[in-house]
Chain A
Amino acid sequence: MRRGVSRREFLKLSGAGIAGATLLGGCKDLASGFKSASTAGPNTLVLTKGPDTSGTLQKAIDTFNKEDHPFTVKWEVASADTGLYFDKMRTQFQVGGGEADVIGADVIWPAQFAANEWIEDLSDRFTEEMQSDFLASTIETSMYQGKIYGVPWYSDAGLLYYRKDLLDKANFQPPKTWEEMLMQARKIQADEGLKYGFTFQGAEYEGGVCNQCEYIWNAGGDVLAEDDPSKVLIGEEGAVLGYKTAQDNVLSGVATVASATYKELESLTPFIQGDAVFNRNWPFGYSIATGGKAAGSSLKPEWVGVAHLPTTNPDDEGFACLGGWDFCINAFSDKKDEAWEFIQWMIRPEIQKTFAIDAGFLPPRKSLFEDKKLLKEQPVMELAKSSFASTRPRPSVNPFYSDMSLDMAQSFNDTIKGDVTPEEATAELDKKLSRIASAAENVFNVGE
């Protein structure tokens, strides 16, 4: 822990200091992340992950515990708020690791943890042969400086939902470009009297960053250079064009300005209530949109179409932002072999199938996208196959991604609200990201 020491020491000592200084300043929960007394026995492996409303994770753990393994698994339920969960994990690592052995980690975490040597290098265990069945982007997010630190658990991809009935009626094919989408939405809005043409997630949070990346990639741009994470490309032509496209979608009136306040559910609601023609969302929206009254949807299942996200120019390559979760092993854990045994069990195709069917956690395994029975149970997998195949990770290979994400979310949010021009916003963001990238270079030797 050559790198972690000073910061960890600092935090140990300053935790109380900052808490004292901010007693009058309103910050309240600074002490909440400190290591709690271990409640796990010597033969108990602790997995930490946010809540799962479907109950599938607990069932899987129960199944595992009933089988003949030399240890049992206990699930320590983390915060449903990914930001708070991340914050807690980071604090636990800084003060000595916490009690979790296996960490259910958001796909944007591995590099940030790995750079500080908080999670275990899995290169010897998770062999390239094993990796070959996983979507390339899911492996990419688990890599840091040529080594692999995470095992993909389940995946998400940004999709374009559309009203199949209305597009058919107007004789439209799903749009290939954003311009086409605007044209179709306007026509259908005028004919059918729909309130919204298009809704997406533009609030100042991680989901906004996903939408932002998709706009940039699908206009031929990028945030960081793919081969050199210390090189910032947000000020270049492609990225500016992506920002312009997003702003145009809003300024044209087709996408509501309120998208600047929308997260997933707020943007899905108008669509499933029949008030919007198009919606950008994750695969979970499919079962809600096609779930009828019980799920709160007023659409008939056959009205719901899923397509690849549009691009700015017809010849641009289309990408979808990768979301989802990985397994990581705590570097401070004394049960690394047990942890690896459990992870191997969890990523077995049949277990991943159970998660896909019961919880809607879509598998990162390419082979499962060919599994006829699974595709029948989860039709969105069939519909979204090409989107999953073209997923790309956010620039989370940078160990200071949290800092980048804060600035990116704010910049994108300001742009779609119309407070700044795309040129101003990207120029400003370029400066901020360059500063962060050079700090990462100095601190962690990223990019060399």
Chain B
Amino acid sequence: MSSSLYLRFWVPWVFSALIFGSSILPSHADALAEIRQLGVLRWGADAEGGAPYVFHEPAAPDKLTGFEADLAEALAARLGLRAQMTQENWDMLVPALKQSSFDIILNGLERTVENSSRVDLTRPYLVYQQQLVTLAYKTNVHSLKDLAGQSVGVLSGSVSLKVLQEHPEITARIYQGNAETFRDLKVGRLSAVIVDSPVAAFFAKPDPTLRLAGDGFAVGFYAIGVPLGETALRKAIDDALVQLLADGTLERIYQHYGLWGPEQEQLRTFHEESVTKAAPLSFGAEAGRYLPLLLRASLTTIGLTLAGMTVAVAVGLAVVMSRLHGPKPLQWAAIAYTEIMRGTPLLIQLYFIYYGLAQQLGLRLSEYLAAILALGLNYAANEAENYRAGFAAIPKGQWEAAAALGMGRWLTIRRIILPQAFRLVLPPMSNDLIAMFKDSSIVSVIAIVELTKEYQIRANDTGDYLGLGLLTAGLYFGMSYAASLAMQRWERILNHDRR
């Protein structure tokens, strides 16, 4: 089930891992010439919760806005091209660049050693800092030192995460988007968030419930990413950026979004040498070092799945009992539950349970509880249908024999029907268990680091998408296969009478 989710979360990774694997051989095609021929500069960015970088205007949702949207327009105009944005998850931008669905990355890409080893970076177009943001009333928080033992939210794959990784005393919660970090900060699940200064300027400064804690730190540069070896394209963009800076276009754009400050003067004095290039990592080089981390994340995946499946079985049983043997209203409720839960996406159910309940009802579930409930309640609909089929497969004569012996309905169900139905539904249950191992990767959207998320983080750190990807896939396969063997064994035990 939920194979679409599975596809959505896994396929891009494996795909990009393969592509990265093949990209070890540099391509010598001239991207700039191709772009000029088409007349379109396709820039990759994540407009989902992407303010103030690039986002859909609330008043006109089909129109893009943000300082990077403006910059892309200006840049393309300067190059005699038309700008066209391509949507991609932010932490997927670097691995996806080679898929050629877009030509450049223009979306808060930091000039870091890691990034520069995977894409070629232009000169910077914005100077940014890390900014700690907390709730307005938490006036005693001034820096990370004040947050030991507390939870702090950061964006997946960001420099903010790297900053936090140097503070093991702080619990890092890793999010897919800035909007979610602020949401959890406001409902009280986080003590603070670390964001890039443009985010802080846009979200936190105008919000009276939030406060910028302390000054910015860890100055960094945003640069445009072009595919490795595309020197002509990079030079053309570099030249265009210099011109946009010189003629005041950049300043005008940044002023509009409240981002211009004296620190941006560094853009003028920037020299290429100030970032050293890390040697590109080869396939599998980091696998051994990261195995323990991935194994630990596997435990999270296994724990979530086993707990989720327990909820699914218990709720599924309750639902099928209500449907088959409950009074009329309960039967209707059971049917409605089944249809709604299997007819709506797990992702939305997860958001509803984690964010919806917290915001609307003040029911602040922990991320793990929310994840287990979402997985369990979603799969319960499947389990209920499995069990219904299992019950239907028990011959009527079994009910009659039990009734003739004076056994009541519930005694018959418990002693005669359930044990026989259970072994019939074990194979489909095994299926669901294995599916849940993989579906559980979706809970990374509520900032749980399970196996897939750990892989994403480490692959981003190291650039070893293929090696770590194979390792991660192997771990998934290992747990699925182990589950399959265990269920088969259980099946054999339950079928002792049929030997």
Chain B binds chain A? no
List residues of B whose CB falls within 8 A of some A CB: none
